Chains A and B, each alone.
Chain A
C-alpha cells in the first residue's frame, strides 16, 4: 500500500485534482529544491550512503520483513469464484458509471462501467458471466457502496474476446493517455490513483524523470518482486509507453536491496538503447512511498502540499507499468492483478493472479488456513486495512491479503502509557514531523493547531511513529481522526460561505 502517498497528494475533495495541479504549478518554475539545507545533513547522508552502499532517505524503520514466505513462489492463476463483486469506486476520483443491466450477459474483458469525467476509470468484466445485481455491498473501507455483481459461467472458455490491437509506436501522447484510461488502469501499488492522470503533467510542469517503484517495502508483500522477475518484458514495454506519454528523458527503476536478484535480472534484460537504469535502494520502510523514493534516488524533495510533477518527476509502481505494457498494446482492460496472499494464518502462502472482484473469503479458502483467523489485512500490515467481513472483494488496489492469527492476549492487554518523550517517533518519521507533540495535541483536541503549526497535513499515515512508540500510543490513528475532523471543519466552513 505504498502509493497511498498518491492518495494524499490528491485528496478526494470537492476540488478537482486537475485544478489543484494548475494552482500548484504557479510556483514550480524555481530551481528544484535539493532538500538538504544544511551541511551537516549533507555529510550525514553522504556517510550513510558510503557505509551502506545504497541510497536511501532520512529516518524510517526496519520491521521484520516476512517476505521469505512468498518471495520464491511464482505467480499462479487461481480458479474463478462463483460470484465476483466489482465496486464502482475502486480508485481515487469519481466512481464509474455502470453501462450494463441486471440479467445482461457479458464476456470476459468487456467494459461494464464507464469513466465519469477525467479523474475516473472504466471497469471491465473480470469473467464471462451474467450480471446478477447492481447494488450496495460491503467494502473494505466500511460503508456500503454500489457494485456490479457478476455470476461467473464456469462452463465458459473465459477467453478475453475484447480489445483491438494498437501499435504504440504510432500513438501520440494524447492517444496513449486515452488508451490508458480506457484500460481502467490505476496505481496498483495501493494508491489506486488513475494512471492516465499522472501521465499528463499539469500545465506548466514538464516530466523529466520517470521513477519506477519496485521497492515493495511493506512486510509480507512480494507481488512486485515476482512481477519484476516474471513479467520483465511487459514491465519494460510499460516503461516505454509511459516514457512516450510523459515525454520523460529517462526512467529509473528503484528496487530495495533485499531484492538484488530482481536488480540483476532487470539489468540483464534492459536493451542498451533504452534510457532505463536500475538502482538498488536501502531496505527500509517506507522506502516505497513516492516522496521517499524521489529523495533516495534523486536527492530532491517534493514541495509540501505539491506534486512530484512540480519537480519534473512521475512515479509509477512496477505492477501498474507491467499491466500498462500488457493491456495498452492489446487495447484491453484491467481484469486481474497479482496479489500476495500470506501471513502466519495462511497454510499455503503465495503470489496469485486474481480476477478483480474475487471475494477475500474465496481467496483464503484456496490457500487454506492454519487455524483460527485474527485480522485479515488488505495491503501490507503497515498501511493496509483490516477488513470487517471476508465478503469484501479484491479490488484494483489490493496488492496483498495478509491473514494474521488471533492476537496474543498478553499483547492485546498491552497498556497505553503516557508519552515519555523518548523521541523515537521523531527519529522514525520519514517526513520529519514531531509525532510526540502532535499526539499530545490530539489528546487535547487541538486539531487546528496540529495542522497550522505542526504540519499535520504532511503526514501520510505510514505508521512508523505508532510502530516505534514504547508507550503504545495509537499515534497514526490519532492523526487520521484529526485530519478527518479538520476536513469536516473545512467543508462546513466552505458550505457557510456559499
Chain B
C-alpha cells in the first residue's frame, strides 16, 4: 500500500443533494413561469427579467468579492432572487428602476447580513419593497397582456432613461385600440370598484398584472413539481393559502358584493407566486414543523387583511416581509418536543 488510508469522521455516507442543486432546481421551476410572462407581455418582460437577474448576479458577485467570501454566484441563489423580483414587477417597469430594485435586494437584503443563509428577509421582496416606496407611480402602471406586436416593440416605459420619470404609456395603450381595457388589475378592480374578474381568467393568466404573477394555474403546477422534487416545503404554501382562505371566507359570507370570494383571493395578485416561491424561501422561513404552519397561516391571513383594509390593493409582499421578521420568534416558540422529554 503506497498511499495512506483516508480518515474522516462519521457519518461516512452522505446524501447527494447540495445547496446549489436545490437552487438550480428552483430556477428550473421558475423558468416556465418566466417563459409564460415573456409570451404574455413580450419583449419588455424579457428585458425586465434579464435586467433583474443580471444585476442581481453582478451585485452578488461584487459583494462576495469585496467581502472575500469567494465566488458565491455558483450557488445560484442570486439567480432566484433576480428572477423572482422580475416576475413581481409590472411588465412595463423602467429597466433602470428594475436594476435599482435588484441591487437593493441583494445588497441590503442579503449581502449586508452576510450572504446566503444569513438574510432575515427574502431579498427579492426587499428589493421590491424599496422600489414600491421609491417609485409609486411606475410600480402601479399596468399594461395589457397579449398586446399586438409585443415581440417586436417594447412598452415605451421600459426604456426610460436612468434617473428619469417613467415615460407615460397612456397614448401607447390607446394606440393599441383594445376593448375594455381599464388600466387596472383584477385586484384593484375588486378593491375599488367591487368588480370581480372571472375566476378562470385569473387562474389561467389572461389578465393584466405583474410579469409573472398572472397565471395561478402555471405557478401551482411549477410549485407542485418543486414540492414533488422535495426541494420545497409544501406545508408553507398550503398554510399560506389556507390562511388566506380562512381570513377571506367570513367577510365574503357577510357581503359577497363588497368582499372578494376566497377563490378570487387565491388566484389574484401575487398570492400564488408568493405562497409557492417566496414565503417558502428556506432561509427566511422557520425550520420547525409547527413553526412553518403558523408562519404560513400568518402570512395568508395578513395578506387578506392588508388587501381588504389597507391602502394598497395587494398585501402579500408586506405580509411575507413581516412573516420573515417574526420567523425566528416563531421558531423559538415552536421548538420540537425532544424524545423522552416529560
Contacts and interface: CB of A to CB of B under 8 A. Distances in A.
Interface stretch (A115-123, A194-202, A254-262, A296-304): A296-304
Contacts of B287: 421-423, 426, 434, 436-437
Contacts of A474: 9
A387 interface: yes
Given A417-B75, A434-B287, A470-B18, A33 B342 contact: yes
Interface stretch (B115-123, B181-189, B266-274): B115-123
Interface in B263-306: 282-289, 292
Nearest to B287: A423
A375 B7 contact: yes
A476 B9 contact: yes
Interface stretch (A15-23, A143-151, A346-354, A460-468): A460-468
A131 B117 CA distance: 59
A96 B6 CA distance: 31
Contacts of B283: 420-421
Contacts of B339: 35, 291, 295, 301-302, 304, 430-432, 458
A216 B10 CA distance: 17
Nearest to B11: A463
A208 interface: no
Instruction: Give the contact-size bracket for chain B.
Output: 35 or more
Contact of A386 (B1, B12, B17, B114): B12
Given A374-B5, A421-B283, A432 B337 contact: yes
Given A376-B5, A386-B6, A386-B8, A466 B117 contact: no
Given A374-B5, A417-B19, A434-B287, A304 B11 contact: no
A423 B282 contact: yes
B21 interface: yes
- Most chain A beta carbons < 10 A, residue from B12, B286, B331, B341: B12
Contact of B11 (A432, A471, A476): A476
Interface residues of A, number: 68
A381 interface: yes
Contact of A467 (B7, B15, B22, B289): B15
Interface string B207-250: 00000000000000000000000000100000000000000000
B9 A477 contact: yes
A383 B10 contact: yes
A420 B6 contact: no
A393 to B, nearest CB: 16
Interface in A280-305: 291, 295, 301-305
Contacts of A303: 340, 342
A466 B233 CA distance: 19
Interface string B39-63: 0000000000000000000000000
Nearest to B3: A372
Contacts of A372: 1, 3
Interface in A320-358: none
B340 A433 contact: no
A381 B14 CA distance: 10
A430 B340 CA distance: 11
B340 A381 contact: no
Interface string A456-496: 00100101101110111010110010000000000000000
A366 interface: no
A302 B19 contact: no
A377 interface: yes
Contacts, number: 167
Contacts of A431: 338-340
Contacts of B337: 37, 432
A386 B7 contact: yes
Contacts of A69: none
Contacts of B1: 372-373, 390
Interface in B52-108: 75
Contacts of A63: 13, 15
Given A426-B287, A471-B117, A374 B18 contact: no
B335 A404 contact: no
A346 to B, nearest CB: 14
A149 to B, nearest CB: 22
- Most chain A beta carbons < 10 A, residue from B289, B338, B339: B339
Contacts of B285: 421
Contacts of B17: 468, 470
B14 A466 contact: yes
Contacts of B3: 372, 406
Nearest to A388: B7
Interface in A28-73: 33, 35, 37, 61, 63-64
B22 A426 contact: no
B256 interface: no
A26 to B, nearest CB: 14
B336 interface: yes
A454 to B, nearest CB: 8
A468 B13 CA distance: 10
Interface in A210-258: 219
Interface in A392-431: 402, 404, 406-407, 414-415, 417-423, 426-427, 430-431
Contacts of A373: 1, 5
Contact of A434 (B9, B117, B288): B288
A385 interface: yes
Contacts of A472: 14, 18-19
Contacts of B282: 420-423
24 contacts: A61-B15, A301-B339, A303-B340, A304-B340, A381-B10, A382-B11, A382-B12, A384-B12, A415-B18, A417-B18, A418-B114, A418-B115, A420-B19, A420-B22, A420-B117, A421-B283, A421-B284, A421-B285, A422-B287, A423-B292, A427-B289, A434-B287, A434-B288, A434-B335
Given A372-B3, A388-B5, 18 more contacts: A302-B339, A303-B342, A375-B12, A377-B12, A385-B10, A386-B8, A386-B9, A386-B12, A417-B116, A418-B114, A420-B282, A421-B282, A423-B287, A431-B338, A432-B339, A468-B15, A472-B14, A480-B9
Those 10 A-B pairs whose CB atoms lie nearest each other, nearest first:
A418-B117, A463-B11, A431-B339, A304-B340, A381-B12, A423-B287, A417-B19, A432-B336, A422-B282, A477-B9
Interface of B: 1, 3, 5-15, 17-22, 75, 114-118, 233, 282-289, 292, 331, 335-342
